[in-house]
Amino acid sequence: MSAAPMELLRKWLGHPEDIYNLLRFKMGGYRAVMPRMDPDSLGRGLRTCYRYLNQTSRSFAAVIQALDGELRHAVCIFYLVLRALDTIEDDMSISLDVKVPMLHEFHSYLYQPEWKYMESKEKDRQVLEDFPTISMEFRNLSKVYQEVISDICHKMGVGMAEFLEKKVDSQHEWDKYCHYVAGLVGIGLSRLFSASELEDPIVGQDTELANSMGLFLQKTNIIRDYLEDQLEGREFWPREVWSRYAKKLSDLAKPENIDMAVQCLNELITNALHHVPDVLTYLSRLKNQSVFNFCAIPQVMAIATLAACYNNKQVFRGVVKIRKGQAVTLMMDATNIQAVKAIMYQYVEEIYQKIPSTDPSSNKTQQVIASIRAMSLPGGPMASRHHYSPIYLSCAMLLAALSWQYLSTITKATEEYVQAGEN
């Protein structure tokens, strides 16, 4: 065996539960989490919309298509409308004097059957070039769905325009920016869940909890993507925090500043962890299985990502990702609130064990972990979720030793399903 497969094998044997769940996932387990949708049952416009959904985000496409009933179509259109809005915001070829009015007025384009934008240079420009198809399917939705999507689109466009020429300075502004780009998504989705009557009205009414769902995911992405954003000239870490550790945000990537950089990282992760109690409260209210899966999977991916990033110098040197088998295990397990609480408990314990005594944020980190522990103490049936039968593990390890190429293929095949925790 060459070095590469030996390294792959070493990783698998170090985490036998990953092997078991990769096999379980590939051999049909993923259908319990993401059942297949029949495209032939859709009209031409909706088929086109789902094709765009798959082209712009395979990971989101999988979980959206698993939602029940008409909610599936509402969330699909919601995603495409926001993707179109985001494409305008990201397109640096559009001048600000054109872009700002477009962002402010974008919600009105939903009711203009002929509106489209043909001058974008972005990779997802098809959602702008064929916006008439998307807006037509939007107008075919029930009025209750239309009102939610239009309202969120309007608020998000205004927020995006506000931050076009403004950097994130204070922690309050960090929360505000994350609210505009992710918290509003959580609020909009929650209102759609309630409008579908698959969930109780309180899910859509409690905007504070829904906002926290979005903020936890967005802050995780911003923390993890420090180096990628630096290389592309973007800055989303709040100046109020990083200025205590460096003169410029880019200085944190310099090897001589690595100790201060990690302390800054740990402070931001501690900030993000404050949203976990709200996440658990929100998820505990959900009744519909497809909605629960849709909401819970990204959240457990996020806590696993923060645990991998905490006190980790690699954040400033490259990319920190959770293992594919680990992501599949999370997807397979996170199907009820007790399981999610056990997962949260596991990863905050992992963070707790890594807290340096000299870290300036250590007390705050310990305090927020104590509050999460109080909400997620193990005791449910999933608390010992990695204690698989020795027979299963022995078979899985033997299979890995004999068939590493086959398992490598499985890993690649599952990649599109697990990228929700990486995007």
How many angstroms separate the CA atoms of 69 and 294, rounded? 14
How many angstroms separate the CA atoms of 81 and 392, rounded? 45
Rounded to 5 degrees, φ, ψ at 25 are -65, -50
Active site residue 131: no
- Please state, in angstroms and as integers, the Cα–Cα distance from residue 3 to each residue in 9, 402, 406, following that order: 10, 16, 17
Extract the tokens encoding 9.
């094998």
Which is catalytic among the residues 79, 109, 294, 316? 294
Active site residue 139: no
Q: Report yes or no: 193 and 204 within 8 Å, Cβ to Cβ.
A: yes
The single residue listed with the structure tokens 């384009």 is: 109
Which is catalytic among the residues 36, 234, 244, 317? 234
Alpha helices in 225-361 (DSSP H): 226-231, 239-242, 258-273, 276-284, 289-309, 324-333, 337-354
Q: Report yes or no: 297 and 340 within 8 Å, Cβ to Cβ.
A: no
Active site residue 236: no
Q: Is 346 helix (H, G, I), strand (E, B) or coil?
A: helix
The single residue listed with the structure tokens 């009105």 is: 108
User: Containing H/E element for 92?
Assistant: none
Q: What is the biggest distance separating any 2 CA atoms in the chain, rounded to whole angstroms?
A: 65
Extract the tokens encoding 100.
């700002």
Q: Across 118-173, where does the E strand assignment appear? A: none
Active site residue 239: no
Q: Report yes or no: 316 and 361 within 8 Å, Cβ to Cβ.
A: no
Amino acid making up residue 87: T
Which is catalytic among the residues 72, 83, 191, 224? 224
Which is catalytic among the residues 117, 177, 216, 417? 177
CA trace torsion 161, 167, 171, 172 (10° rounding)? -30
How many angstroms separate the CA atoms of 38 and 265, rounded? 44
Burial per residue of 12-46, b for 16 or more beta-carbon CB atoms within 10 angstroms, e otherwise: beeebbbbbbbbbbbeeebeebbeebeeeeeeeeb
- Backbone dihedral region of 28: left (phi > 0), alpha (psi from -120 to 50 degrees) or beta? left
Amino acid making up residue 275: H
Q: Report yes or no: 375 and 280 within 8 Å, Cβ to Cβ.
A: yes
Question: Which residues are designated catalytic?
Answer: 177, 224, 234, 294
